[in-house]
Structure 1
Amino acid sequence: MASNRNNADSMHPAISWQGRVVNRVMGRAIKPVISRLRFTRRFMKFSQLGFDALTLALPVPANVHIARTHMGGVPCEWLIAGREVRSNRVVVYFHGGAYFFGSPRSHRAVTWRLSRHCRAKVLALDYRQPPDWCYPAPLEDAVRAYQGLLKQGYRSRDIVFAGDSAGGNLALVTLLRLRELSLPMPACAVLISPWADLTCSGESHWRHVRHDPFIPMKALRFVSASYSEGYNPASPMLSPAFADLTGLPPLMIQVGSTEVLYSDAVRVAEQARKAGVPCQLQVWEDMMHVFHALAAWLPEASLALREIGSFVNEILREEDEAGHLRARTRVVSRRA
């Protein structure tokens, strides 16, 4: 059972000069460039390679263990950081990138820190993406990888889903598909700036368009149309902001206060609580989209990742205690 702390909203004020600098640079230098780009299938392929190369500048400690693997036939990456990692714990990570760029490699600055703070191995999925693939290919990969973990003997109560942006979307819709398939749910899920409304109709999609220092709406609409090709983007399996979340595990959501995806996060939290799902929503003042990737320089990012670790460890500790209690009960029953 999740604690009452997981039902609270909280505002985390901006505390660093680094955050102000990052916002200024992103808003004045990066976003104008992105806004002028002509989004095509060729550009999508090029950006996949370019983004991976760009993120090599984000440091990963030499003692972090990284290994390529397959899980359920899906290419993945194991990542383990620190000696306190527990072998039974797995954070399944769904990388962001608007469903057309990004990879396990591009998100290592986030995943190695999640491994350390959650004291868990991270399994980062290299799921299929546009332009070669569209919905439901990433969802199919996510379900297969999760089933592969279960077949290898990992217990659902020791597994955590986590994802950023489009990866937050994928984490949510994977939970919905597991519910449809009557498969056991993971212990909890962490959603970082989830893109939960592919119709791009949320209030912040227009209210924050000038304040968000990173995401231009033109790009968001293009990739939504590309990913949902042939399907209604308002479908709950594409836009979980419209879904009934009944039966999902506890959720933690983090989002920046000026993001265009701010209302996506808020609506998911509202849908969770309406369905009786414990949900903790954290709003980080003036933080850019997925600011966690800059934890090497941004104090707010380091703090946000520690908050995720606290949430996950609290949930998994309660699951461990409940598991020990059930095991003891079964032993007593056999003796009787």
Structure 2
Amino acid sequence: MLLKQFLTAATAPLARRQPSIAAMRLTLEVGSLFQFLPWGVHLESIRLEGMAAEWIRPEKANPRRVLLYLHGGGYVLGSLNTHRSLVGTLAQRCGMHALAVDYRKAPDFPFPAALDDALLAYRWLLREGYHPHDIILAGDSAGGGLVLALLVALRDGKEPLPAAAIGLSPWSDLVLPTGTIRRVADEELQLLEALAIRGWGGLYAAEMPLTAPLVSPVQADLHDLPPLLLQTSDAEVLYDDVVKFAVKAKKAGVPVTLQAFSGLVHWWHLFWRLLPEAREALDKAAAFTHSIWAAQEAAAQLLRDVRRPAAKVNSASRLRARL
């Protein structure tokens, strides 16, 4: 509640003046100066075919397993700097290395630039020798929606899918229905945010319809996607969006875990140092990744157990043949 009041007091007057995207980007970058990686997490800046990216490597993490992270910001804001602290703590809790990428943003680079960059990063990991089953996608807000669009694009292209995906309040419907606007109308901060991101969605989609499946992945056919973890808060703008996507994905047979929290503003995961609910959410995300690896190990063990009797029969047959 205190965080919500602080954000309302700090941002509502600014939002009413409708600052430029450049001004908002600068504000976020200045704010990121006070966000630091957790202790024991190391940073390595790289470039992927010209795109800025960085490895975030927690000590004692499994180097074979990668969290490919796509940051949020309505497809127009955000950077490696603004999300580095969040990605660092999530990677540390998951016991994985993370690759974060600075995909191109609207309005300078509308759809499909961000999706193309996400595809580039995923394919780069495969070329580097990482197995799809050792990769988990993750993203928040627009980055979460981009994760879902990436899954649909990979499936439709018959490319190997990652082990799972995590959406932290993912934005999957750029239409942002009128019902959502009506629900948040009594909350000044939420209403201003909803109206802003509705405009950003148009900047990202540009010439594409907002209902195009790779722009708004809730419009896509969602069959044959890997396990998903979706987190949201009932007090944020994208709550309806997340629930709608989860319901549709479940009906399509996708294993979906939906975790709803109460009374938290959008982008609440970024405030993990201040909010115990954010730390709880990130711990639950880590538990989800551990369950994915445990399921893989159980499946591999079952396969070994099935093959073992056959191997014994073959050995016995060879022995009899020698006799």
TM-score by length of 1: 0.87
Residue 101 (structure 1) shift: 1.1
| Further displaced range: 325-334 or 169-178 | 325-334
The aligned residue for residue 219 of structure 1 is: 196
Whether 1:306 and 2:269 are equivalent positions in the alignment is no
Whether 1:133 and 2:109 are equivalent positions in the alignment is yes
Residue 202 (structure 1) shift: 5.7
Residue 129 (structure 1) shift: 0.7
Whether 1:180 and 2:159 are equivalent positions in the alignment is no
Aligned-partner Cα distance in 2 for 1:333–1:105? 54
Aligned-partner Cα distance in 2 for 1:326–1:26? 52
- When the two chains are superposed, the root-mean-square deviation of aligned CA atoms in Å is 2.0
Residue 332 (structure 1) shift: 7.6
Aligned-partner Cα distance in 2 for 1:82–1:209? 45
Q: 1:103 to 1:277 in 2, by over 3 A?
A: same
Return the index of the structure with the highest Cα Rg: 2
Gaps of 5+ in 1: 1-19
Where in structure 2 are the equivalents of 1:1-336 lying within 5 Å? 20-38=1-19, 43-71=20-48, 74-83=51-60, 85-201=61-177, 203-211=179-187, 213-214=189-190, 216-326=193-303, 336=314
Aligned-partner Cα distance in 1 for 2:178–2:243? 10
Gaps of 5+ in 2: 315-323
CA deviation map 1:196-246 (0-9, x unaligned): 111111632321243374552331122111111100001111111222210
CA contact (8 A) 2:42 2:56 kept: yes
Q: 1:105 to 1:26 in 2, by over 3 A?
A: same
CA contact (8 A) 2:37 2:89 kept: no
CA contact (8 A) 1:66 1:79 kept: yes
What amino acid maps onto 2:146 in structure 1?
L
User: Is the partner of 2:6 in helix, strand or coil?
Assistant: helix
Aligned-partner Cα distance in 2 for 1:155–1:329? 23
CA deviation map 1:265-290 (0-9, x unaligned): 00110111110101111111010112
Aligned-partner Cα distance in 2 for 1:54–1:222? 23
What amino acid maps onto 2:45 in structure 1?
R
What amino acid maps onto 1:179 in structure 2?
R
CA contact (8 A) 1:253 1:281 kept: yes
| Bigger proportion of residues as helix | 2
What amino acid maps onto 1:50 in structure 2?
T
Aligned-partner Cα distance in 2 for 1:324–1:153? 23
Aligned-partner Cα distance in 2 for 1:121–1:272? 28
Aligned-partner Cα distance in 2 for 1:333–1:290? 53
Aligned-partner Cα distance in 1 for 2:270–2:250? 28
The structure, 1 or 2, with the larger RCO (C-alpha pairs under 8 Å, 6+ apart) is 1
Q: How many residues align?
A: 312
TM-score by length of 2: 0.90
User: Is the partner of 1:107 in helix, strand or coil?
Assistant: helix
